[in-house]
Amino acid sequence: MTLPAKNLLAEEASPYLQQHSGNPVHWRAWSPASLAEAKALERPILLSVGYAACHWCHVMAHESFENDDVAAVMNRMFVNIKVDREERPDIDQIYMAALSAMGEQGGWPLTMFLTPDGKPFWGGTYFPREARYGRAGFVQVLEAVDKAWREKKESVNQSADGLTTHVEARLAGSHAKAVLDRDTLATLANSIDDMIDRDLGGLRGAPKFPNAPFMQTLWLSWLRDGATAHRDAVLLSLEKMLAGGIYDHVSGGLSRYSTDAEWLVPHFEKMLYDNAQLIRLCNWAFAATGNELFRIRIEETTDWLLREMRVDGGAFAASLDADSEGEEGLFYTWSRDEIETALGDESALFFQYFTLSGPHGWEGKPIIHQTEAQQTQSVANRDRLIPLREKLLAAREQRVRPGRDGKILTDWNGLVIAALTEAGRAVKRIDWIEAAEQAFAAIAGAGRDDRLPHSMLGARKLFPALSSDYAAMANAAISLFEATGTSSYAEQAGQFIAQLDQWHSDENNTGYYLTASDSSDVPIRIRGDVDEAIPSASGQIIEAMVRLSSLSGDLELQEKTWKVAEHAAGRAAHQAYGQAGIVNACALALEPLKLVLVDSPENPGLVPVANRNPDPRRIDTIVPVGAATNLPMLPGGVLPPTTKPGAWLCTGQVCLPVITDAEELERRLRRG
């Protein structure tokens, strides 16, 4: 079969694909029909993968995909397929792994050339239209690939077969299970600590990413083993990035990464997942230190999420673009004159607490950031600065806004729901928990045949969900149960795990595939073991199973969780990078913490202590004094008495004696 000789993206739900629907390139979405067309025409596939907020994706689109001459070459030589990596992370991970196996640096846009049956044989990332930056021009690349395909087809196919076999072994293969032990977390934490920039936070060098999975490894190391250097590395990294230009000091929220080592010049796109993880890390940091900086940044970032990222129904959009009016960062940057015009006589006060910098090589307007002293002063004098931020925000709202990718991604929303719920508990913001409940209801209610969608945009839904979607929503449901005590959330978490078992389990029940068993358009069914900016699907699954089995006391689920964790650890041992999510989750499986609280709903004394001392290792169950039904089981099948307040803190199958004093519970929950 062959599809119409025109661009076919106009009917796609993805805003990223919609951005390319007016290109003269005859784009197709990834589908069985598109793959069949390549086979029918015996043409190689040009696969272009990106996302709506990606700056260099826009550059390559403007230079090449909007150009009639370039498009004519693409249309003559290739079947051209466009993929939104956020809609299809399974496709993206396969071909990104292929690029890595070629020894090339990954990134987006991802440009890969495939045989007609979808096997990769060559690729790269951004290609300029004309040769520059030490890169060949895009048309030169297209002509060279076409020549190789026509004249050396047998060799190209052999290369593609070998590359596909390598990728399959890496992303879908099995390895002997590993015995879970405490040393794995410590070893990884020490190796991460060796890479930390002791002056500027984060990993040494540039660009700098927040890297939440690494930060969690260090935090767990401190909580478990008392490695204060690891705690301090996280705190330093947070403080530095929250003072830098990577943080939006006008409206809150973090950009995806900084291009320099000082956290100063960001790539200005703002991703939902980064900010979910920032809230969670800041929540832990605030509990551990009492430093108001972290609480303030949680509030600012949550305010931004609720103001700018919520869509109809209460769930959250995927991202904001880096560019507006064709210029990166234009919406977020300020000249001194613009600040003075917006603030008038109060501008002098602003410059006491904030700095404008235009570093070497940066062509845009200056970027707002803070020195260490300014950050400390701004926390102490926050009330003086709120009116200034409001005036700047109002002035900025008059500008042309960056594009918003309004699609709802289930797994990213699960991360936000959990983060808002945990932070809402810690700082007594019931409205945040209610917002999290709304988002949860919007996604859980969008299912079909008891299955979640992976992505939604208005009435359009992309089925089936990925394993990461069920895992993130299970974790979100458990966090909501901890906060509200509503048993239906715990039941929904169990249903999500059941869906994982039905559609994603491997042949031996030792783990899960990222893509569902009835997804017919993936060349390789991968596991989802490797972290990206968020923990891997496998890491999130193990975390959800640990938490649910700890909550329920289900011994069969505990045994299954242990089996899945051992096999994931075995596979992670063969990865060169990206295994922190699995290691972190296996650390939770080794020593799960369970806290059962019996307390007065009207005048609680113990629950507030648990709320303000969050611990990623711990699951909390709250029971009203006098309750007689739905009681949580303590290890060993013991039911807690509910005649008076008390707290039972358990590690694995061992519980401390009941704690009735709030100060004693505080001491037990805090790491000194």
Q: What is the pLDDT of residue 135?
A: 77
**CA 285 to centroid of chain Cα atoms:** 19
To which CATH superfamily is domain 15-172 assigned? Glutaredoxin (3.40.30.10)
Tokens matching residue 538: 């496998």
pLDDT at 537 over 80: yes
CA dist 659 and 637 (Å) reads 19
The per-residue pLDDT for 615 is 97
Statement: residue 303 has pLDDT above 70: yes
Inform me whether the pLDDT recorded for 500 exceeds 80: yes
CA 61 to chain centre: 25
Nearest to 545 by CA among 570, 562, 527: 562
The DSSP code sequence of 327-372 is EETTTT---HHHHHHHHGGGHHHHHHH-EEE--TT--SS-EEE--H
Amino acid at the residue 608? P
Amino acid at 14: S
Per-residue confidence at 136, pLDDT binned at 50, 70, 90?
Answer: confident
pLDDT value at position 43? Answer: 97
The whole-angstrom separation of Cα 564 and Cα 559 is 9
167 touches 98 (CB < 8 A): yes
- Strand, coil or helix: 271: strand
Is residue 100 very low, low, confident or very high in pLDDT (cuts 50, 70, 90)?
very high
pLDDT at 132: 83
Residue 181: pLDDT over 70 = yes
Amino acid making up residue 195? M
- pLDDT confidence of residue 27: 98
The pLDDT, as a whole number, for residue 99 is 96
User: What would the pLDDT profile of 373-430 be if each residue is shown by its tens digit?
Assistant: 999 999 999 999 999 999 999 999 999 999 999 999 999 999 999 999 999 999 999 9
What is the C-alpha to C-alpha distance for residues 530 and 536, in angstroms, rounded to an integer? 5
The whole-number average pLDDT for the span 53-71 is 95
CB 479 within 8 A of CB 417: yes
pLDDT band at 134 (very low <50, low <70, confident <90, very high): confident
In the chain, what are the domain boundaries? 15-172, 202-301+317-403, 407-591, 593-669
pLDDT of residue 196: 98
pTM reported for the whole predicted model: 0.96
Tokens of 351: 């410059």
Name all contacts of 257-262 with Cβ < 8 Å and 24+ positions apart. Answer: 257/207, 257/208, 257/209, 257/210, 258/206, 258/207, 258/208, 259/206, 259/207, 260/206, 260/207, 260/208, 260/359, 261/197, 261/200, 261/204, 261/205, 261/206, 261/208, 262/200
564 pLDDT exceeds 90?
Answer: yes
Q: What is the pLDDT of residues 334-366, one digit of tens each?
A: 999 999 999 999 999 999 999 999 888 888 899
What is the percentage of the chain residues whose pLDDT exceeds 70?
100
454 Cβ neighbours under 8 A, 6+ residues apart? 87, 409, 410, 411, 462, 463, 464, 465, 466, 469
Cα–Cα–Cα angle for 254, 616, 547, rounded to 5 degrees: 120
The one-letter code for the residue type at 320 is L
Q: How far is CA 120 from the centre of its chain?
A: 27
Using a pLDDT cut of 90, give the percent of the chain over it. Answer: 92
> What does pLDDT average to over the chain?
95
CA distance 442 to 417: 11
The pLDDT score that the predictor gives to residue 275 is: 98
Q: What is the CATH number of domain 407-591?
A: 1.50.10.20
DSSP 220-264: HHHHHH--HHHHHHHHHHHHHHHHSTTB-TTT--B-SEESSTTS-
Structure-token pair, residue 317 = 């959009």
Whether 672 shows a pLDDT value over 60: the answer reads no
What does the alpha-carbon distance between residue 19 and residue 66 come to, in Å, rounded to a whole number?
11
Q: What are 476's two structure tokens?
A: 């979100």
Q: Where are the beta strands (DSSP E) in 17-154?
A: 27-29, 45-50, 79-84, 110-114, 120-124
Range 36-48 average pLDDT = 97
pLDDT digits (tens, 9 = 90+) for 417-476: 999 999 999 999 999 999 999 999 999 999 999 999 999 999 999 999 999 999 999 999
**What span, in angstroms and rounded, lies between the C-alpha atoms of 544 and 548?**
6
Cβ atoms within 10 A of the Cβ of 523, count? 18
Per-residue pLDDT tens over the stretch 506-525: 999 999 999 999 998 999 99
First-to-last CA distance in the chain? Answer: 67
Q: Give mean pLDDT, residues 640-659.
A: 94
pLDDT at 425: 98
Return the biggest CA–CA distance within the chain. 83
